[in-house]
C-alpha cells in the first residue's frame, strides 16, 4: 500500500478510536458473562483481592484463590461459598416458580478452590499452577492482585525487603502469566488483569521500591498487551487497574495537604473494585480511579520536572508517605521492644 494512503488510513483509525472511546463514556457497553469460567485471583486473602473474589462469585465464576496466608484465604472462600449458597437458593426458588427464562447454572458448577502460594517464589507459582490445571482446569481469567509494601526510606530499607517487593509486585506477574497464557493462546480466549497503582504512573518520595515495582508491572502489562495484538490474539483481553490510594490499611497514615484531602480522599475499597469490575467485564484496556489520575499522568508527561515538583509541594504529595513510613518504623520498634530484641 502507498505510504501516503496508509498514513491517511492510520489517521482515520486513530480518530475513530477517539470516537469509540468517547462513545464508551456516553453509552456503557454491555458487560460480558464470566459464569462457569475459572477465575484465579492472587492475594485473595484480604483487601482488594477478597473483594474481587466476592464480585466474581456474584457473577457465578469458578474461583481459584491464591494467598500466602492460608487462614485469611479460607475466610475469603467461606464468604464466596455463602454467596454461592444464596445463588443456588435463588435458582431453586426460580425453578419452583417455573421461571425458565433465565439461564440457571447447576449447583455443582459453583465451586471455590484455595491454594497457599507465595507468588514471590517462582517455583512455588509453577508448582501451584500445575496443581490448579490438574484439579480445577484451565484458567480463563487471571487477576494478578497480590502486593506488598516495605514502608522504609531507601537507605533504611534492607535489601531483602527491596527484593521481596520487586518479586511479589512485579516478577510474580511474569510467573503467573507464563503459567496460564499458553492455553489462552491456543484457544484465543482469556482475560489478564493487572492490579497496579497510580504509583506505577507517577511517583512520590519515600517508596522507591514500591514505585519501581509498580512502574515495572505497568510496563510488563503494556508490552504484553502489544504482543497479543501483534499476534492477532484478539480473543485474549487485558485490563490494567491503576487506583489512587485505597483505604485498605496498606498505606495507613499516608496524608496529603489537609485542605486538599477532602477533595481527594482515599478510595473506598468497595468502590475501587466495583469500578475495576466494570472495566474488566466491558474489556476496557485500562482504568484509573478516580478519573483525575488520567489528568495527573498527562500533566506529568508534558510539564517540566520543576513544575511537577511545585505541584507536588502545593498538594502535599511530595512527602505524603512520610507519616506512613514513620508509623511503620514505630510499629517495628514496638515489636522489637516487645520481643526483647
Q: Each residue of 206-233: pLDDT tens digit?
A: 999 999 999 999 999 999 999 999 999 9
Q: Which residues are annotated as a binding site for substrate?
A: 197
Q: Is residue 202 part of a domain?
A: yes
- For 128, counting Cβ atoms within 10 Å of its Cβ (0-12 exposed, 13-18 middle, 19+ buried), the class is buried
Query: Cβ atoms within 10 A of the Cβ of 179, count?
Result: 21
Q: Which pLDDT does position 19 carry in this prediction?
A: 79
Q: Is residue 271 part of a domain?
A: yes
Q: Which residues are annotated as a binding site for NADP(+)?
A: 40-64
Q: Which pLDDT does position 337 carry in this prediction?
A: 47
Q: Which of 76-85, 261-270, 300-309 has the highest average model confidence (pLDDT)?
A: 76-85
**What stretch of H or E contains 334?**
helix 322-338
Q: Is residue 159 part of a domain?
A: yes
Task: Report d(CA 134, CA 132) in Å as an integer.
Answer: 5
Q: Which pLDDT does position 159 carry in this prediction?
A: 96
Q: Is residue 20 part of a domain?
A: no
**Cα 192–Cα 198–Cα 204 angle in degrees, nearest 5:** 140
Strand, helix or coil for residue 306: helix
**pLDDT for 104 beyond 60:** no
Number of domains in the chain: 1
Q: Each residue of 291-332: pLDDT tens digit?
A: 889 988 888 889 999 999 998 998 888 999 999 999 888 876
Q: Is residue 9 part of a domain?
A: no
Strand, helix or coil for residue 235: coil
Q: Is residue 17 part of a domain?
A: no
Q: Which sign does the torsion angle of CA 144, 148, 153, 158 carry? A: negative
**pLDDT for 100 beyond 60:** no
**pLDDT for 33 beyond 60:** yes
**DSSP per residue, 184-218:** HHHHT-EEEEEE--GGGTS--TT-HHHHHHHHHHH
Q: Which of 269, 253, 260, 273 is nearest to 325 (CA)?
A: 253
Determine the straight-line distance between the first and last CA of the chain, rounded to whole angstroms: 73
Q: Is residue 277 part of a domain?
A: yes
> Which domain covers residue 330, as residue numbers?
31-92+105-339
More confident residue, 332 or 93: 93
**pLDDT for 103 beyond 80:** no
Q: Which pLDDT does position 74 carry in this prediction?
A: 97
Q: Is residue 157 part of a domain?
A: yes
The grid coordinates of residue 274 equal: 466495583
Whichever domain contains 326, its CATH number is 3.40.50.720
Pairing verdict, β 286-289 and 141-144: unpaired
Q: Any idea which residues carry the catalytic annotation?
A: 210
More confident residue, 38 or 4: 38
For 244, phi then psi, to 5°, come to: -70, 180
Q: Each residue of 115-132: pLDDT tens digit?
A: 999 999 999 999 999 999
**pLDDT for 341 beyond 60:** no
Residue 17 — very low, low, confident or very high, per pLDDT cuts 50/70/90?
A: confident
Mean pLDDT is lowest, of 233-242, 246-255, 265-274, for: 246-255
Task: Report d(CA 226, CA 248) in Å as an integer.
Answer: 32
Amino acid at each position: 500500500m502507498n505510504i501516503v494512503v496508509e498514513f491517511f488510513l492510520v489517521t482515520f483509525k486513530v480518530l475513530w478510536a477517539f470516537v469509540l472511546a468517547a462513545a464508551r463514556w456516553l453509552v456503557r457497553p454491555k458487560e460480558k458473562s464470566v459464569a462457569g469460567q475459572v477465575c484465579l485471583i492472587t492475594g485473595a486473602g484480604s483487601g482488594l483481592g477478597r473483594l474481587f473474589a466476592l464480585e466474581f462469585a456474584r457473577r457465578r465464576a469458578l474461583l481459584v484463590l491464591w494467598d500466602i496466608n492460608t487462614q485469611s484465604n479460607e475466610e475469603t472462600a467461606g464468604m464466596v461459598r455463602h454467596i454461592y449458597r444464596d445463588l443456588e437458593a435463588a435458582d431453586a426458588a426460580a425453578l419452583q416458580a417455573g421461571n425458565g427464562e433465565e439461564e440457571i447454572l447447576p449447583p455443582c458448577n459453583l465451586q471455590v478452590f484455595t491454594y497457599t502460594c507465595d507468588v514471590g517464589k517462582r517455583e512455588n507459582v509453577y508448582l501451584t499452577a500445575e496443581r490448579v490445571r490438574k484439579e480445577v482446569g484451565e484458567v480463563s481469567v487471571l487477576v494478578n492482585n497480590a502486593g506488598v509494601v516495605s514502608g522504609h526510606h531507601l537507605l533504611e530499607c534492607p535489601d531483602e525487603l527491596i527484593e521481596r517487593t520487586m518479586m511479589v509486585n512485579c516478577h510474580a506477574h511474569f510467573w503467573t502469566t507464563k503459567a496460564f497464557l499458553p492455553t489462552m493462546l491456543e484457544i484465543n480466549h482469556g482475560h489478564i488483569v493487572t492490579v497496579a497503582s497510580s504509583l506505577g504512573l507517577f511517583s512520590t518520595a519515600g517508596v522507591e521500591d514500591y514505585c519501581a515495582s509498580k512502574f515495572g508491572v505497568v510496563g510488563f502489562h503494556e508490552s504484553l498487551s502489544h504482543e497479543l495484538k501483534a499476534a492477532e490474539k484478539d480473543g485474549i483481553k487485558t485490563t490494567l487497574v491503576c487506583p489512587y490510594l485505597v483505604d485498605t490499611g496498606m498505606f495507613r497514615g499516608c496524608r496529603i495537604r489537609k485542605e486538599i484531602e477532602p477533595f481527594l480522599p482515599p478510595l473506598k475499597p468497595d468502590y475501587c473494585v466495583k469500578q475495576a469490575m466494570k472495566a474488566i467485564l466491558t474489556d476496557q484496556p485500562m482504568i484509573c480511579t478516580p478519573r483525575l489520575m488520567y489528568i495527573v499522568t498527562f500533566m506529568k508527561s508534558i510539564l517540566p520536572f520543576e513544575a511537577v515538583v511545585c505541584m507536588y509541594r502545593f498538594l502535599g504529595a511530595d512527602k505524603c508517605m512520610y507519616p506512613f513510613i514513620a508509623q511503620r518504623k514505630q510499629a517495628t520498634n514496638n515489636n522489637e521492644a516487645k520481643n526483647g530484641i
